[in-house]
């Protein structure tokens, strides 16, 4: 084999640790980013968080003061540090180029506390439906054997509040008579919430009606409906229901209103999931006739370099090298945060500018928009826009929205333009809200109304948008 030297020219993307860090920070939500910042503060002694009392002392590295699309961004670096860092931190790369860093690549996320739950989880526990029912069973005058039967019944109740096993099955497990289990079941069904431990929807609604004070005749009629004619009620066949019950329309309407006030899932009231808190990344507000886009100052802590430790970095022994490494890591972390904030502001500004009509007239005026539209406007890759819009929120005069809300596909119109799927969904919601409840609009009728407005859309597409807006079918929307 002949040996030789050969020169080749080529281009490739080098994923430096700093670039990996910048990309990872860009995709984090605000709450996750706060945990990341807290981990870095705990692991890097060169990085400090500036409090309100300390503001004005050392020069800060990253200040999340409101950066507006109408003014210069107020994210400033110290002059001496800014000169030691590149002007542009590259974050626009293919997602496939990012390696799985794992827990080892996340500063401050290793140690004995990793397997421990957070403070809130250690100090509070949600009360489950079974816990709530057992507490009531402890207050009931059960004998030891009856208490064991009640415990078995409670364990057999699912998260919706229904008894998931038959009385005969539970009686066989406990080796007691089914009548004994039935008697204890009636006691458990008297527990709160009303309707719990029912064996079906009809029994669940009937149990709730038994505990409602009101006109006896109206309650009896409502119980007759849920116990004997639940199939007609499900079909919204009110004409047939009135004939079978031999009642007039007004009495039937009152009974149906009473049934509509009941809860078909009584177990859902207890042990509901904790609410997810959202911290908006961007604030959008009107300034005269202009929309002003600003970073939320509460979303990002104020970070700075600890000057006392930084001055100890000018040496060549192991201690000084450690301080120098930590100083470089802190500088890159702050630079990555600054790049993240500026990218979010740039993307949010482009979104608001393209969807100005939405802020003026509401969802019906939403323009069709895809990731490519914003990527071309801000001169970034679509993968970067996808990361920026994931779990990022903006608070606006019309409410709190995730960035992704403003992106939707388009449907062609007769005029040669395009209508946003979000706008079409809003029009469908408006049509349903204004329809005659006795004669609700079918999907074909909604498609015809949209066609008259210049939007050509198939009936099955209307059904898809209607289901996406959690609107039941016309047969289920019919009312007396």
Task: Tell me the CATH number at 227.
Answer: 1.10.10.1330
Do both 186 and 251 map to the same domain? yes
DSSP class of 364: G
Residue 14: its pLDDT value, please? 61
Do 301 and 232 belong to one domain? no
Do 235 and 152 have their domain in common? yes
- Note whether residue 49 is domain-resident: yes
> Which pLDDT belongs to residue 1?
62
Residue 114 in any domain: the answer is no
pLDDT score, position 285: 92
Let me know if residue 3 belongs to a domain: no
In which band, very low, low, confident or very high, does the pLDDT at 417 lie, cut at 50, 70 and 90? low
Condensed to tens digits (0 to 9), the pLDDT of residues 385-401 reads 998 888 899 999 999 99
pLDDT at residue 298 in the model = 84
- What is the token pair recorded at 380? 């970034």
Residue 416: pLDDT band with limits 50, 70, 90: low
pLDDT above 70: residue 83? no
Out of 203-212, 267-276, 470-479, which region has the weakest mean confidence (pLDDT)? 267-276
Last residue of a domain, which of 250, 270, 290? 270
Domain boundary among 358, 391, 407: 407
- Work out the average pLDDT over 44-69: 58
Write out the residue range of the structural domain in which residue 368 sits. Answer: 13-101+281-407
Element spanning 293, H or E: strand 290-295
Statement to judge: residues 135 and 179 lie in one domain:
yes
Whether 159 and 222 share a structural domain: yes
Look at residue 52 in the predicted model and tell me its pLDDT: 58
| Residue 180 pLDDT | 92
Q: What is the pLDDT of residue 345?
A: 93
Crossing angle of helices 443-452 and 459-468, rounded to 10°: 100
The domain total for the chain is 3
| Whole-number Cα distances in Å, 305 to 59, 146, 460 | 8, 67, 59
pLDDT score of 182: 93
pLDDT at position 60: 42
Last residue of a domain, one of 270, 292, 310: 270
449-461 pLDDT, tens digit per residue, is 888 887 788 888 8
Do the bridges between strand 410-412 and strand 418-420 make them parallel or antiparallel, or are there none, so unpaired?
antiparallel
Say yes or no: 31 and 46 in one domain: yes
Statement to judge: residues 339 and 398 lie in one domain: yes
| Identity of the highest mean pLDDT range in 18-27, 109-118, 158-167, 214-223 | 158-167
pLDDT at 8 exceeding the cut of 70: yes
Average pLDDT for residues 92-121, to the nearest whole number? 44
pLDDT of residue 12: 61
Query: 77 and 135 share a domain?
Result: no
Q: H or E element: which one contains 304?
A: strand 302-305
Region 226-237: mean pLDDT is: 85
Q: Which of the residue ranges 53-67, 293-307, 329-343 would you say has the lowest mean pLDDT? A: 53-67
Sign of CA dihedral 220, 221, 223, 228: positive
pTM above 0.85, yes or no: no
Q: What percent of the chain has pLDDT over 90?
A: 22
The average confidence (pLDDT) of the chain is: 79
Long-range contacts: 53-58, Cβ < 8 Å, 24+?
A: 55/302, 58/304, 58/305, 58/306, 58/307
Same domain, 438 and 414: yes
> Residues 166, 45: one domain?
no
Residue 138 domain-assigned (yes or no): yes
Sign of CA dihedral 103, 105, 109, 112: positive
| Mean pLDDT, rounded, for 35-62 | 71
pLDDT number for residue 123? 45
Does the pLDDT of residue 85 top 70, yes or no? no
One domain for residues 398 and 443: no
List the Cα angle 214/219/225 in 5-degree steps.
160
Whether residue 63 is predicted with pLDDT greater than 70 in this model: the reply is no
Residues 319 and 252 both lie in one domain: no
């Amino acid at each position: 084999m002949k040996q030789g030297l050969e020169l080749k020219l080529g281009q490739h993307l080098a994923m430096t640790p700093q670039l990996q860090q910048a990309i990872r920070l860009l995709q984090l939500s605000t709450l996750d980013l706060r945990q990341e910042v807290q981990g870095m503060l705990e692991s890097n002694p060169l990085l400090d968080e500036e409090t309100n009392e300390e503001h004005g002392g050392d020069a800060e590295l990253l200040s999340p003061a409101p950066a507006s699309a109408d003014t210069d961004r107020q994210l400033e670096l110290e002059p001496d540090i800014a000169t030691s860092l590149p002007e542009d931190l590259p974050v626009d790369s293919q997602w496939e180029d990012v390696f799985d860093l794992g827990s080892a690549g996340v500063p401050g996320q290793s140690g004995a506390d990793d397997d421990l739950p957070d403070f809130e989880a250690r100090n509070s526990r949600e009360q489950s439906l079974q816990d709530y029912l057992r507490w009531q069973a402890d207050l009931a005058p059960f004998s030891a054997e009856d208490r064991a039967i009640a415990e078995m019944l409670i364990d057999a109740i699912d998260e919706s509040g229904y008894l998931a096993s038959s009385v005969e099955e539970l009686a066989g497990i406990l080796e007691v008579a089914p009548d004994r289990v039935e008697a204890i079941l009636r006691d458990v069904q008297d527990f709160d919430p009303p309707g719990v431990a029912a064996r079906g929807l009809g029994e669940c609604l009937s149990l709730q009606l038994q505990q409602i004070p009101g006109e006896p005749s109206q309650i009896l009629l409502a119980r007759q409906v849920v116990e004997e004619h639940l199939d007609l009620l499900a079909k919204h066949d009110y004409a047939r229901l009135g004939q079978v019950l031999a009642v007039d329309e007004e009495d039937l309407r009152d009974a149906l209103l009473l049934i509509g006030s009941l809860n078909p899932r009584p177990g859902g009231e207890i042990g509901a999931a904790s609410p997810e808190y959202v911290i908006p990344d961007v604030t959008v507000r009107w300034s005269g006739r202009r929309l002003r886009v600003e970073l939320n100052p509460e979303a990002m802590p104020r970070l700075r370099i600890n000057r006392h430790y930084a001055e100890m970095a000018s040496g060549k022994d192991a201690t000084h090298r450690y301080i120098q490494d930590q100083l470089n890591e802190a500088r890159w972390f702050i630079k990555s945060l600054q790049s993240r904030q500026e990218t979010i502001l740039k993307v949010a500004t482009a979104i608001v500018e393209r969807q100005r009509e939405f802020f003026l007239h509401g969802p019906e005026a939403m323009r069709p928009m895809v990731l490519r539209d914003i990527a071309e406007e801000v001169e970034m890759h679509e993968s970067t826009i996808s990361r920026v819009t994931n779990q990022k929120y903006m608070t606006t005069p019309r409410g709190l929205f995730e960035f992704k809300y403003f992106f939707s596909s388009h449907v062609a119109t007769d005029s040669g333009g395009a209508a946003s799927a979000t706008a079409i969904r809003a029009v469908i919601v408006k049509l349903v809200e204004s329809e005659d409840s006795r004669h609700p609009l079918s999907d074909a009728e909604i498609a015809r109304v949209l066609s008259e407005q210049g939007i050509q859309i198939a009936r099955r597409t209307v059904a898809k948008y209607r289901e996406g807006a959690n609107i039941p079918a016309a047969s289920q929307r019919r009312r007396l």
